[in-house]
Amino acid sequence: MATTTATITISSTDLLTDELSLSTSATLTGHNNSTGLTQAAGLSRKKLASGHAEYTLFDGSDYTATKAHKLYLKNTSTTADESFKITINTEEVGLLYAGDWAFFPWSAHDSDNDIKIDPSATDMVLEYMLFTDE
């Protein structure tokens, strides 16, 4: 069984009056069990030729609702005003600005839960990987 651990560290010396230092980690587990996730789709990069053209990154109907899915996304741009709009179904999750990344669980079960991305500029590159137990 594969063991995958996700770790995040957030630190700042000038955000608050005191220094900020947070760190946590978790072993990614499958649905209804304590064993690790066994599959991954990626690590891949997707270059989108045109800005403001929504693209389906993951089709919800391709995955099982009762399985665990964790998604990593990263905007590889270094241009400050370039972002990816991330939507699930028709709900905007947020914007990934240049250098930003996200890691979150995804409940896939039908085409209504597609992961879609919409770049703000031409030729932007998104790095992504899906961890799953199916």
Domains and CATH numbers, the chain: 37-132 (2.60.120.1540)
The mean pLDDT value of the chain amounts to: 88
Angle at the Cα of 7 (from 64 to 37), degrees rounded to 5? Answer: 25
CB 132 within 8 A of CB 69: yes
- pTM for the model: 0.86
Instruction: Count CB neighbours of 104 within 10 A.
Output: 13
Read off φ and ψ for residue 86, nearest 5 degrees: -110, 125
Residue 119 host element (H or E): strand 115-119
Q: List all residues 6 or more positions away from 44 whose beta carbon is below 8 Å from its beta carbon.
A: 127, 128, 129
Tens digit of pLDDT for each residue in 27-79? 888 888 777 787 887 788 888 877 778 899 998 888 888 888 999 999 999 99
- State the sign of the Cα–Cα–Cα–Cα dihedral 57, 60, 62, 68: positive
Local confidence band at 111 (pLDDT 50, 70, 90 cut-offs): low
Coil, helix or strand at residue 61: helix
- State the sign of the Cα–Cα–Cα–Cα dihedral 37, 43, 48, 52: positive
Helices (H) and strands (E) in the chain, counts: 0, 10
Lowest-confidence region among 15-19, 43-47, 50-54, 91-95:
50-54
